[in-house]
Amino acid sequence: MKKIIRLRTNASAPDALNGLHPVLAHIYAARGVQSSNDLIRNLQGLHAPQLKGMEAALDLLEVALKEKQRILVVGDFDADGATSTVLAVLVLRAMGAVIDYLVPNRFTYGYGLTPEIVELAHATKTPYLIVTVDNGISSLEGVAAANALGMKVLVTDHHLPGAVLPEAAAILNPNQPGCVFLSKNLAGVGVVFYLLSCFRTRMKEQGWFTTMNIPEPAMADYLDLVALGTVADVVPLDANNRVLVHQGLNRIRAGRCRPGITALLDIASKQPAQLVATDLGFQVAPRLNAAGRLDDMSQGIECLLTGSVDLARQYASELDGLNIERRQIEGSMQKEAMHVLQTFSLDKEALPFGLTLFHRDWHQGVVGILAGRLKERFHRPVIAFASSAPGSDELKGSARSIPGVHIRDVLDTVAARNPGLITRFGGHAMAAGLTLPVARLEAFRAAFNKAVGDVVNPEDLEPVLYSDGELPADCFTEPFADVLREAGPWGQGFPEPMFHGDFHCLEQKVLKEKHIKMSVAHPASNRIFDAIAFNVDRAQWPNSSKKVRLVYRLDINEFRGSRSLQLRVEYMEPL
């Protein structure tokens, strides 16, 4: 699909950014940076822990700790949930708590603190306190079931709440009504980090660690987990999240991280010393998420929990195998989806505002990735459904959206207009999950398309790439590429710098049947650079074009100890 290239807002760099390279100052200004305070990356730059419900949450943890009452962490089956679970278990265990964890198998119990999970917890773990991490804000029935059985519930979550909150003993969520915490973009692991940091401070002030003769946990030592979970959950990297991710990256680069993270990096052939945020998102997180998608997230949690290098490598190898299997399943599902959508691919005008797809053989754990791939290809909100179990009359769907369409709000509109159509739903602006009976799929498809059509603008449906402009010829250097690399962390909401320009194409070569390696010459300087484009449309590339327009990022290719400048191409079109 041909894409529109637009310049980011051409904001003048404020005086506060004087002294930076002018291109970098422009890049920062286009991302809303107004002062040097927005670029603080030390821990003193974190927002104060003014989270609603904090005191009640700390009271619950204090009673459980002092009375040796069992705490049970109930997590989610993705990387944010896994890192949140591991963080809670490691820190509270270090403080002397009696603690265990339970992660629902998505294929048996579904998402969140369900009544079935509560019953299982009561029968096998018998906790005094259930702590949800990265879930719970929509678990009204599960919290009620726990209350009825005499178990207290502390909800820690970051997902958007519904109209009614669960009747938990305490709720910690920056997005709940009345919470004045300055950033609403914390991942689940970020919420847990703030909770445990405050709890460590409270118990230190009470002399707990001296009395018990145990070392006081250094919360900074756990920032590797916070960085991984934050990047993996694709939350916006606002100033607060950038501090958390930057500090976590520094610890990983220095080799001061969990053996499981080191093992996952090793199996992905990534050197910790050169790690950037996108490596966590594209190399580590998918392998970790594969456990929750195809099997049991306990494998991923145990990989991060273990202090054994050998065990970590074993878990990492198993997770890598699951990720390979996941990619194979995803490839098959994409082919089936494209077969259904091939008519639309030829006639873009016939595309619905929102795409809804279902296949009885699709894998429930992979529909989210499929929805994301189709969203990128057709630039429409997409919901992909799978059966909740073989032969089941219930569907589970995963939604992915585009800028300008708040997908959770759309689902809320559908539910309000059509009572009983959706069984349950929840999520964010860009991603959501839902369940509904298979018999109501067609009615939902029509209602969803109308709800999207009511809020979407025509320009929102045009695929746009935002460029930071044409890069000056003297910036095509390894030192400047290093400047950009270290100027992040880059990610969701704070995108990595991207440039565009026209180049002479000297050579095109296919790699692994889906990537294109090129040699291109810069027209102003005639300097020749390597360029690589991943997962190209093989119907269009390679071709005989002698001139191409590229949208690219500056990159450093490191191979056998040598470094060279490389253009990492995000989009290209012949001229």
Residue 52, pLDDT > 60, answer yes
How far does Cα 98 stand from its chain's mean position?
Answer: 30
pLDDT the model gives residue 107 = 67
Residue 348, pLDDT > 70, answer no
Cβ atoms of residues 378 and 344 within 8 Å: yes
Cβ atoms of residues 459 and 173 within 8 Å: no
pLDDT the model gives residue 513 = 86
Of residues 105 and 81, more confidence is placed in 81
Residue 31 CB neighbour total at 10 angstroms: 18
Residue 552, pLDDT > 70, answer yes
Q: What is the mean pLDDT of residues 504-514?
A: 91
Is 294 strand, coil or helix? helix
Residue 10, pLDDT > 70, answer no
For residue 88, how many C-alpha atoms fall within 13 Å in the half-sphere facing its CB? 34
Domain at 465-574: CATH code: 2.40.50.460
Question: Dihedral of CA 72/78/79/80: which sign?
Answer: negative
Q: What is the mean pLDDT of residues 233-243?
A: 96
pTM of the entire structure?
A: 0.92
Residue 36, pLDDT > 90, answer no
pLDDT the model gives residue 214 = 97
* DSSP string for residues in 488-536: ---BTTBPPP-EEEEEEEEEEEEETTTEEEEEEE-TTT--EEEEEE-S-
Closest CA to 53 of 205, 140, 166, 221: 166
**Rounded Cα distance, 362 and 384, in Å:** 9
Domain spans of the chain, in order of start:
51-319, 347-461, 465-574
pLDDT the model gives residue 104 = 76
**Rounded Cα distance, 399 and 412, in Å:** 13
Read off the pLDDT band of 343 (50, 70, 90): low
Residue 518 main-chain phi, psi, to 5 deg: -130, 155
* DSSP string for residues in 365-427: TTHHHHHHHHHHHH-S-EEEEEESSTT-SEEEEEEE--TT--HHHHHHHHHHHSTTS-SEEEE
pLDDT the model gives residue 537 = 82
Percent of the chain whose predicted confidence (pLDDT) is above 70 = 98
Cβ atoms of residues 435 and 351 within 8 Å: no
Residue with tokens 């509560």: 118
Residue 346, pLDDT > 70, answer no
How far does Cα 37 stand from its chain's mean position?
Answer: 25
Residue with tokens 């509270």: 92
Its CATH class, for the domain covering 347-461, is alpha beta
Cβ atoms of residues 401 and 353 within 8 Å: no
pLDDT the model gives residue 539 = 81
Q: Model confidence over 136-170: pLDDT tens digits?
A: 999 999 999 999 999 999 999 999 898 899 999 99
**Rounded Cα distance, 274 and 258, in Å:** 17
Instruction: Please state which of the ranges 179-183, 339-343, 372-376, 433-437 shows the lowest mean pLDDT.
Output: 339-343
Q: Model confidence over 85-96: pLDDT tens digits?
A: 999 999 999 999
Residue 11, pLDDT > 70, answer no
Domain at 51-319: CATH code: 3.90.1640.30
Element (H, E) at 56: helix 54-66
Instruction: Please state which of the ranges 210-224, 331-345, 388-402, 518-532 shows the lowest mean pLDDT.
Output: 331-345
Q: What is the mean pLDDT of residues 556-570?
A: 88
Residue 479, pLDDT > 90, answer yes
Read off the pLDDT band of 349 (50, 70, 90): low
Task: Locate the DSSP E strands across 104-183.
Answer: 129-133, 152-156, 170-172
Q: What is the mean pLDDT of residues 4-9?
A: 90
* DSSP string for residues in 14-25: PGGGBTB-HHHH
Q: Widest CA span of the chain, in angstroms?
A: 76
Closest CA to 575 of 501, 466, 519: 501
Q: What is the mean pLDDT of the chain?
A: 93
Pairing state between β 152-156 and 424-427: unpaired
Tokens of 12: 């003048």
**Rounded Cα distance, 388 and 213, in Å:** 49
Of residues 538 and 60, more confidence is placed in 60
